[in-house]
Chain A
Amino acid sequence: QKEVEQDPGPLSVPEGAIVSLNCTYSNSAFQYFMWYRQYSRKGPELLMYTYSSGNKEDGRFTAQVDKSSKYISLFIRDSQPSDSATYLCAMSDMSTNAGKSTFGDGTTLTVKP
């Protein structure tokens, strides 16, 4: 069983919809939780990072972490065609640098005009 599970999708939504992306994990030592966006043939771009449990909002993006359930989410409001990409969740524990993270397999999102 993988340490981080992420539904690969693909997920297709109409423009303006609210998108919910999720990951579950098994390692209770994870303290830092990140979401990356990756366009085709490009490197991942850090979108959000959250330390421990709670919510964090940045514009149209909201990240939620529920450590008791070992479940994290990324919500995208008013989705745009430019949001079409693969979204990767990543996690690390406090003893390692953020770069040495465990990644989910990514969810491919398509926002249709």
Chain B
Amino acid sequence: GAVVSQHPSRVICKSGTSVKIECRSLDFQATTMFWYRQFPKQSLMLMATSNEGSKATYEQGVEKDKFLINHASLTLSTLTVTSAHPEDSSFYICSASKGTEAFFGQGTRLTVV
């Protein structure tokens, strides 16, 4: 397999502040990473596709100005939740593709108070 590390695993922030989540592929290079959001007892909802060296591709209904994605290198993608609100509280998960397989990070539990 391959290892994808996501940090932090849990974060609590105040309304109006911004939070950055990092996703790293530790032992392989990933030209494409993906960001998902998961609500309790529901499946993963794809938010955006992060491409190294170019702009992210957002899914319909996802605000690109609110969820900023930067794929700075072949091993790092970041998701910044800007001006967070309580409704942004959720479990955010990244994945990185290695060939035809996808490997997921551990997830980040975001709570906005």
Residue ranges of A at the interface with B (Cβ–Cβ < 8 Å): 8, 32, 34, 36, 41-46, 49, 51, 88, 97-101, 103-106
Contact = CB atoms under 8 A, between A and B. Distances in A.
Main secondary structure of the interface of A (DSSP, over half): loop
Contacts of B102: 34, 46, 97-99, 101
Contact of B97 (A8, A88, A99): A99
A88 B107 CA distance: 16
B97 A105 contact: no
Contacts of A51: 100
10 contacts: A8-B41, A32-B100, A34-B101, A45-B104, A88-B44, A97-B49, A99-B33, A99-B97, A100-B49, A103-B43
B67 interface: no
Contact of A98 (B43, B91, B101): B101
Main secondary structure of the interface of B (DSSP, over half): strand
B34 A99 contact: yes
**Among all A-B residue pairs, the 5 with the closest Cβ atoms:** A99-B102, A43-B104, A97-B97, A99-B34, A43-B107
A51 B100 CA distance: 9
A42 B109 CA distance: 9
A20 B87 CA distance: 36
B75 interface: no
Given A41-B91, A88-B44, A99-B102, 12 more contacts: A34-B102, A41-B109, A42-B106, A46-B102, A46-B104, A49-B101, A97-B97, A99-B32, A99-B34, A99-B49, A100-B46, A104-B43
